[in-house]
Structure 1
Amino acid sequence: MYCLIECLRIAFTMLLDRWEDTEMLTVARRGLLKGAAAVAGVTMLPRTISAQERRDIVVGVQRLPENISPGRDTADYTVPISYNVFDKLIEPDFHNRMQLGPGLATSWDIEGYREIVFTLRQGVRFHNGDEMTAEDVAFTFSRERREGDGPVRLAQFFSNVLEANALDDHKVQIVMDGVDPIIEQRFAMWSSEIVSKRAYRDAPSYGKWALMPIGTGPFRVADLNTDRFVLEAFDDYWGGPPNVRSLTFVEVPEVAGRIAALASGDFDVITVVPVDQISTIDGYDDIEVVGGPGAKLRILIFNQGEFAHPMMKNVHFRRALSLAVDRQLLVDALFDGRANVPNGLQLPSFGDTFDPDYPVPAYDPAQARAELAMSGYAGEVIDYPLLPNVIDTEVAVAEVLREMWKAVGIDVELQIRENWKQITRGHHSIRNMSATMVWQDPATILWRLFKPSVMKGRGWGWVNDTFNANGIILENEPDKVVRRAAFTAMMTEWETADPMGIVLFQEVWLYGKRTDLDWQPYVLPYMDFGPNNV
């Protein structure tokens, strides 16, 4: 566990050079078959090796999920596995700044941001041998599946689907309930994985299906146990046979154990490498660290509801909490300068709706003390419950934040909990959250996580009319200039004028791998072992 003294020592002794880019450390070496180049008519073939040369890859992970359940579980420890089992209609090209390109659909037409018609790739096989048809795609997004037991994320992310119709064997029409400015993005990201209608309906329950799910990806499920998941190559994969014979994900919660297994050759890749362990891995000739800033932001939530300290309702107190945080020192101390402090709750991949002129969060301890004086705060203890070993460096970050708040006169008590339910259903004035880019759009974080319906459901008690009015514009207006103006107004309310929370930094995803494995990580937690990335 880090302490503040050690954090400051690292910060002031680190090299002055910083990353100026948010790309991953490993440089892209190969094109992606399913990317935008395919649209332009360029033939991009996956690398192939003989079946005799294919290796078995073992990945050491911090945590395994209970099953593989796209549409239900989008946790950082789940999607690295499910990405190898399922495909989407549209695929972001992670080798080309996440440009959208063909996946299971070869083309699509959008009408008025209310309707999208997909032409499907022919000859695609599910792992059970069935050919994928429009019926499978229509069922994937159907009301029957969305309202059934299990896929709660699908129901959330595609709640505005009005109809899903198979027009013929290879053409699907999806009709939205109103204008949807991010209609294309929805089918390229979380919970849009295509499932087999027959296999899904034949399963006795959602839970049983999730233990042996059927997808179209480069690997199929061989065995799911509590301590390891085994996937095997699906040689009928539409993108070409994988260059890996099998994938085994093994749970090892302790970072020292994962590194030891990587160094000994028992593991080929490990996840969640802390910055302070980079030098350990660098001490070996045959293993290395890869990765960098990802498409995910670490934020704090300022609860103002029933289960929060009454001071949290005071806007001056919440402003003081924000102004007391030196985010740059935080990332320098804990991440050796590898993390970035973003300018607001946004990422450059938002494209035309990204506001490059929006300011980086201010660090002003003098103003923090002034806001604190106006708040009437009298030294009450403010609770900050958290979980160890769920969000990377969670405890270390909280310890540094506590000292920064203490420096301006705010007494925050860190309280270790055993599970999320103890936090979400218990008293929590401050809590942290990792906000992943579900879509490459401002709606991905700010509106999705803090719209009125979500605020009511979580009981956070924050009501801001300006934020909500601009959120309606963001949700319904296709014009990018208008959407960016609305988004900027929302960020200002959320973080500065009437803080609901604060942005801390852009998350860093670091992995260890064997140097002879030609594999690279992405800016999302997907771990792609398909033929285009190994």
Structure 2
Amino acid sequence: MVSTHSRRDFLKISSISLAGAYLAACSVGGGDQGAAEQALRAAFAQPINDLDPHGPSSVDESTLLAGRLIYDTLIRRDGDKLVPHVATSWEQPDPNTWVFALRDDVTFHDGSKLTARDVKASLERVKDAGTAQSALWTSVSTVDAPDDTTLRVTTSEPLGTMPVNLTLMFILPAAKMNDEGFFRKPIGSGPFRVEAFTPSDELRLAAVDYWNGTPKLNRVTLPFIPETSSQITALRTGDLNVLWPIPPDQLRELEGLDEIRLETVPSYAYYFTWFNCGREPFTDPRVRRAMWRAVDVAGTVRNLFGDGAELMTAPIPSTVFGHAPQQPYEHDPDAAKRDLAAAGLGDGFRTSLMWFSDTGPLADALAQAMISDWAKVGVTVEPQNLEKAEWLRRLNAKEFDMDLQINTVTTGDADFTLGRLYDSQADRMGYRNPRLDGILRRAHQDSDRRTRGRLYGQACKIIWDDAVGIFPAALISTYGLRSTVEGFEPVPSNQPDLRGVTLAT
């Protein structure tokens, strides 16, 4: 039976590149002494290849999934709210200063005490790492730990996104985090410790006596199962207890089975097609708008994804803070032809679209549907289905005409995507707009939620109206659970809290 939450219900549950997560579970034990031992097996769509939460994979869903289980953060997300975690409270005595009070009862898995010095070292490490997450911390000037339970962060300019950014900043032991080989079996302070890790193959975790609620499970194993058909088979046979996200075209394999239930939640992941706005003919917004009007976006999303996605109404999903719905681009091939003619391309033109198949569910079919629609208005698009490494190289070098991919608004806040990708200095797709830069900068600096929401609404409109890209589908995460799994809550981030999960005998 499929249980689909409305957006309002979803926001009560939780609010944050679906490009995949899968978890599975196999029964063995319980967190309570004296209870039968419980062990959960879980399969994730993308392999976990790195446990360094500050490194090159710091914003990858697979690394974040593991990080939520192994490490702690100062602040965590609870639905659409930010709540204390290792930090008990925080204040902003002036626009450029944040002060955090920390718990004094948190220990790492090796028994050492977590103090403000560990938080200081962790924040400085991620700031200097030169990775995607480092961009969130560029305005941090100094980090001080005057005592074990006080952290003071000073910035060169106001940083209103400090609290939400800290939901991603995992705390490592300062004395050990730079040791050679540390991340083969890292030490955190989260609800599970690492028993064994083979990159891109399997992560095995054991429960600890956790300060914020000891897990009811004894063990969690996260294997990587490359083939979707093998994932589905493993769930059906009971080799996996939980699997997500189930691709929309695979749901029929699991619907109606008594031993399996399906639960859905709108995610923070969405498809987009960027135009290289610094490369002809996409320097002209009339051409970009024509390309959007040429595609039957609503029909394609409906026919390909069904209940597995919802039609986008902004350049970020409706689940994300800062979303503001925009006027849809109607499918109108005749208007597209007129726009192209007005731009001097009445005879059409040739271009290309790049993507990699594993970017997300039905990526190949989505690419081909758009290419087919563009052909109907005289635009010949060469399909370029690349290996991920080559796709990433070309994306970073802006060596593309159009790019199809999935993105995940990891923090659940518009700044993570709009502020990080569409600022002129970021120069991710050749688009430059000084007015947008100013709006994004003010939203990044302001700590007032209402002001930030209003500013991101303006940013959504500019990006949408300028057709920087086409934004077709926000993905729905479908979780497949064996009937023995209890206490599991689907979340939009694909990074579930497993502390309350049990397996019925």
TM-score range, shorter chain: 0.7 to 0.9
Greater shift, 112-121 or 314-323, is seen at 112-121
SS at match of 1:198: coil
How far the C-alpha of 1:354 sits from its partner, in A, is: 4.5
Greater shift, 477-486 or 82-91, is seen at 477-486
State which of 391, 416, 424 in structure 2 corresponds to 1:452.
Answer: 424
Q: CA 1:476–1:24 in structure 2 vs 1: closer, same or farther (change >3 Å)?
A: closer
Does 2:92 align with 1:110?
yes
- Aligned residue for 2:41? 58
Does 2:348 align with 1:363?
no
Separation in 2 of the partners of 1:62 and 1:485?
35
AA matched with 1:91: R
Does 2:67 align with 1:82?
yes
SS at match of 2:358: coil
Q: CA 1:298–1:51 in structure 2 vs 1: closer, same or farther (change >3 Å)?
A: farther
Identity of aligned residues (%): 23
CA contact (8 A) 2:207 2:219 kept: no
- Aligned residue for 2:120? 138
How far the C-alpha of 1:113 sits from its partner, in A, is: 3.8
- Aligned residue for 1:522? 491
How far the C-alpha of 1:478 sits from its partner, in A, is: 4.4
AA matched with 1:387: F
Render the CA deviation track for 1:29-54: whole Å, top value 9, x for unaligned.
x9xxxxxxxxxxxxxxxx96445423
Normalised TM-score (structure 2)? 0.87
AA matched with 1:293: P
State which of 289, 297, 300 in structure 2 corresponds to 1:319.
Answer: 289
- Aligned residue for 1:209? 182
State which of 89, 108, 114 in structure 2 corresponds to 1:126.
Answer: 108
Does 2:136 align with 1:166?
no
CA contact (8 A) 1:181 1:476 kept: yes
Q: CA 1:123–1:19 in structure 2 vs 1: closer, same or farther (change >3 Å)?
A: closer
Does 2:445 align with 1:476?
yes
Render the CA deviation track for 1:224-268: whole Å, top value 9, x for unaligned.
114533333332211232111111111111111011111111111
Q: How many residues get paired?
A: 479
Q: CA 1:522–1:482 in structure 2 vs 1: closer, same or farther (change >3 Å)?
A: closer
CA contact (8 A) 1:179 1:476 kept: yes
- Aligned residue for 1:395? 364
Q: CA 1:533–1:328 in structure 2 vs 1: closer, same or farther (change >3 Å)?
A: farther
Render the CA deviation track for 1:286-345: whole Å, top value 9, x for unaligned.
12222232023321110133xx5x222232211111122333222211221342223212
CA contact (8 A) 1:48 1:531 kept: no
SS at match of 1:335: helix
SS at match of 1:454: coil
How far the C-alpha of 1:168 sits from its partner, in A, is: 1.4
Q: CA 1:227–1:350 in structure 2 vs 1: closer, same or farther (change >3 Å)?
A: closer
SS at match of 2:160: coil
Does 2:213 align with 1:240?
yes
Gaps of 5+ in 2: 15-29
- Aligned residue for 1:491? 460
Does 2:320 align with 1:341?
no
How far the C-alpha of 1:483 sits from its partner, in A, is: 4.3
AA matched with 2:379: I
Residues 145-224 of structure 1 correspond to what in structure 2 (within 5 A)? 146-147=127-128, 150=129, 152-188=131-167, 190=168, 192-201=169-178, 203-204=179-180, 208-224=181-197
CA contact (8 A) 1:141 1:161 kept: no
- Aligned residue for 1:304? 277
CA contact (8 A) 1:242 1:531 kept: yes
SS at match of 2:425: helix
How far the C-alpha of 1:494 sits from its partner, in A, is: 1.9
Separation in 1 of the partners of 2:142 and 2:500?
34
How far the C-alpha of 1:405 sits from its partner, in A, is: 1.9
Does 2:407 align with 1:435?
yes
Separation in 2 of the partners of 1:110 and 1:60?
41
AA matched with 2:100: F
State which of 248, 251, 260 in structure 1 corresponds to 2:233.
Answer: 260
Q: CA RMSD in A?
A: 2.7
- Aligned residue for 1:98? 80
Normalised TM-score (structure 1)? 0.82
Separation in 1 of the partners of 2:381 and 2:374?
7
SS at match of 1:141: helix
Gaps of 5+ in 1: 1-16, 31-46
How far the C-alpha of 1:481 sits from its partner, in A, is: 5.7
Separation in 2 of the partners of 1:507 and 1:52?
38
Separation in 1 of the partners of 2:285 and 2:353?
18
Separation in 2 of the partners of 1:409 and 1:20?
40
Q: CA 1:227–1:156 in structure 2 vs 1: closer, same or farther (change >3 Å)?
A: closer
